[in-house]
Structure 1
Amino acid sequence: MTRVRMTVSALEAAHLTDIVLQFTDLLAEAIDGVDDPGVARLVPDGYRDAAEDAAEFRRLTQDDLLDRRRDDAALVLATLQRDGQTRRPQDLDRADAEAEVIVELDAGAVAAWLRTLTAVRLVIATRLGITTEEEQDDDPRFGVYNWLGFRLEGLLQAIED
């Protein structure tokens, strides 16, 4: 896989940073033992028809899976920084918000982005009760879910090019 370059606005980069930071907070709570349905969706059952085996599988794999998701999110956040600074939406004025940001990703960062955007979408889908694409309505919360899907699709297209 070659390097990928994505162009986003500084405001998009700042919002994505905010979303991924919220995701890392959620992962930290899960690692600390807080049970959350969104996080449970990130740690699939190893066995569908054997509850005891599924619980044991989850016990043995959950921490490693969540650690990897946290590491992926940290890499995404690092690629969104500029000059070592984390951009947040509230820190941008209008001119800064419209500025173009080029995000360059190597193969490892591309994989981290793909896994992180997918994981965040899974958490949001769980929160919104989405199980199929047809279940969306005019609720503005679907906007973030769809925007992340748009960015995910753009990243996949960049890989193919």
Structure 2
Amino acid sequence: MGDRAGGRRVTAPGVALELTAIEVAHLTSLVEQFSALVTEQESDAGDPAIARLVPDAYADTDAAREFRALTESDLLQRRAADAGLVLATLLRDGAPLRPEELDAVSAEAVVSIPLDGERLSAWLRTLTALRLVLATRLGIRTEADGDVDDPRYGVYEWLGYRLEGLLQAIDG
């Protein structure tokens, strides 16, 4: 039996994701920011990124609002829990990597992150959610949208590349 991740059943015994230390450091920062966003949703009630993470379940405005009132907090707590699991897998020697702490040589060191079961599912859901947040911030609704000159667009693309790699490893 596998875990559900973004509509896909994850049945692979596990994969190893290889990132450079600088990628781990930057991803750690992104996931920390994402975690703060979903845990502080009360102050960001009108944030379009939150709305995109928890889309309306019904076309009827009143029904959608009622459903959101009943489920949004739980859904965002689950996203925060996923982010926490991802952050735990990114720790090195029990501490997060920070870009400013890495020299040129250590920044390029390869870090292998074993992922299986719930960790793998959490990674898939979190990378997808991070892309949704960035897409919202960048105004991306379709493949034709987005300012490729915006530095965040590169991060959006990199997250997609990593997500696609994980999905291929699962299917492989």
Q: Which runs of 5+ in 1 are unaligned?
A: none
2:127–2:159 CA contact under 8 A, matched in 1: yes
2:52–2:132 CA contact under 8 A, matched in 1: yes
Q: Which runs of 5+ in 2 are unaligned?
A: 1-11
The number of aligned residues is: 159
Counterpart in the other structure of 1:41:
52
For 1:86, what is the secondary structure of its paired residue?
coil
Counterpart in the other structure of 1:115:
125
- What's the CA shift for 1:137? 3.5
- What's the CA shift for 1:47? 0.5
Correspondence 1:4 to 2:44? no
- What's the CA shift for 1:136? 2.9
| Aligned pairs (5 A) from 1:1-161 | 1-30=12-41, 32-35=42-45, 36-48=47-59, 50-139=60-149, 140-161=151-172
Q: Distance in 2 between matches of 1:34 and 1:8?
A: 32
Q: Distance in 1 between matches of 2:76 and 2:147?
A: 30
After superposition, give the CA deviation of every residue in 1:2-48 in whole Å (9 maximum; x if it has no partner): 11101110001111101001111111220x34221101111111101
Q: Distance in 2 between matches of 1:42 and 1:109?
A: 20
- What's the CA shift for 1:89? 1.1
Structure with greater proportional helix content: 1
Could you tell me which amino acid in structure 1 is paired with residue 72 of structure 2?
Q
Runs of 4+ more than 2 Å apart: none
The alignment-based identity, stated in percent, is: 57
Q: Distance in 1 between matches of 2:160 and 2:89?
A: 19
TM-score (norm 2): 0.89
TM-score (norm 1): 0.95
CA RMSD of aligned residues (A): 1.0
